Amino acid sequence: MSNSKFSRRGVLKTGMVASAGLAVPQYLRADAHAGFTNAPSDSEVILGFNVPQTGPYADEGADELRAYELAVEHLNGGGDGGMLSTFSSKVLDGTGILGREVKYVTGDTQTKSDAARASARSMIEKDGAIMITGGSSSGVAVAVQALCQEAGIIFMAGLTHSNDTTGKDKRANGFRHFFNSYMSGAALAPILAAQYGTDRKAYHLTADYNWGYTTQEAIQSSTEAMGWETVNTVLTPLTQTDFSSYIAPVLNSGADVLVLNHYGGNMVNSLTNAVQFGLRQAEANGKQFEIVVPLYSELMARGAGQNIAGILGSQNWDWKLENQLGDRYSGTNAFVRSFGEKFGFPPSQAAHTCYVQTLLYADAVTRAGSFNPCAVVEALEGFEFDGLGNGPTLYRAEDHQCFKDVVVVRGKENPENEFDLVEIVEVTPVAQVTYAPDHPQFAGGALGSCNPGA
């Protein structure tokens, strides 16, 4: 585990106590009576950034860490302040969180649930982290969210798109800013119908874990509702790097659309294989064969290169939003400027959502006047905000899901540079992607009550 910008001063562990199946540390310090896990000292507060530093989603993890570093810098009064100036809530003033300097520890999820839980547990038990955030896999998010619920720690999810995170696996101590599979389906279906027609036959390749399952379900149900037929669905291992054996049968399947329910390196590799097999030039059923990638970002587009040209998909956010669509997406330019000046290139949607989640946590603590997880939960539930790049946004109390506009994108045919590979096709209004908390795609599970831990 890396301990960048972190000192262990004030967190000497003396013993362990059991708390709902998780060992939680006891500390020799004046605020140990505060009544919640890892109550911070008077001088500093420790946050845990748990991201994929290795594995198929490592590129997203690297950008997440950059964003977290920038968020900590801004919270502590460094840099230009970024979105602190555009955020509709005005309680953050660059003096840390409730007067405590923000420090952080990091862990590597490896895009594996067990590894992610182990690194999160270490940050909680050994390092005294009071909030865990990060990840680029819904399997990881669900696992770490459950751990944080047991430990009495707030989990501010990073990049997790599966319906399950705020569906059947939702937890009172967990919050998701990123959009979800249902929202992608609701936003994409009308665009797919307009661009490719309603008489289509789709073949799905799907990552074999909960994000893949719910994304396939969302896209399949939304496209079938508009007239598409699903001819086959095939699961692929998350560890797969060569998808040739999965692509080969597609051309003889009767399908005329391939839907790649893949993300990160998986998407780059499967799309590359599909192009190598000639699917972009093929015809089927008297139609031009098409490929759809339900979820991708500019970061993935850079990996895919020219293969992404013309490919439709959805995003949580895009760094060009404010420039192209105006003040509704204020905050975008402030973040892009800060990130670009520090790192030399525009931020990805993974970086954006992780930066925002860090500010939202700090803001909730400040508005609540307490680090107690139950006070933070109360401050976030039903919180409406603006100025963080997505337009007006609601953190819904019933499931801790953020509701905001969804961006539909397409790979540019003639990009001007390596950072401008995606064009915004349409921004779908939040009303079109909003669903009832008991929608069938989110059935099962209960939010439960907040757990303050110790």
Domain-located, residue 348: yes
pLDDT grade, residue 35 (50/70/90)? Answer: confident
pLDDT grade, residue 34 (50/70/90)? Answer: low
Considering the domain architecture, whether residues 136 and 196 belong to the same structural domain is answered as no
Q: 169-218: per-residue pLDDT in tens? A: 999 999 999 999 999 999 999 999 999 999 999 999 999 999 999 999 99
Considering the domain architecture, whether residues 105 and 138 belong to the same structural domain is answered as yes
On the CB side of 402, how many CA atoms lie within 13 Å of its CA?
30
What average pLDDT score do residues 303-321 get?
Answer: 95
pLDDT grade, residue 12 (50/70/90)? Answer: very low
Q: 257-307: per-residue pLDDT in tens? A: 999 999 989 999 999 999 999 999 999 999 999 999 999 988 889 999 999
Q: 67-96: per-residue pLDDT in tens? A: 999 999 999 999 999 999 999 999 999 999
Task: Identify the domain boundary among 383, 404, 425.
Answer: 404
How far is the C-alpha of 90 from the C-alpha of 110, rounded, in Å? Answer: 36
Residue 118 has pLDDT above 90, yes or no: yes
The residue range of the domain holding 230 is: 182-315
Task: Identify the domain boundary among 286, 315, 344.
Answer: 315
Q: 222-267: per-residue pLDDT in tens? A: 999 999 999 999 999 999 999 999 999 999 999 999 999 999 899 9
Q: Look at the chain and report how many structural domains it folds into.
A: 2
Tell me the DSSP string of 62-128: HHHHHHHHHHHHHHTT-TT-GGGTT-S-----SS-BTTBEEEEEEEE-TT-HHHHHHHHHHHHHTT-
Considering the domain architecture, whether residues 75 and 149 belong to the same structural domain is answered as yes
User: Partners of 235 in the beta sheet?
Assistant: 206
Q: 332-356: per-residue pLDDT in tens? A: 999 999 999 999 999 999 999 999 9
Domain-located, residue 198: yes
Considering the domain architecture, whether residues 102 and 160 belong to the same structural domain is answered as yes
- CATH at 213: 3.40.50.2300
Distance of CA 282 to the CA centre of its chain: 34
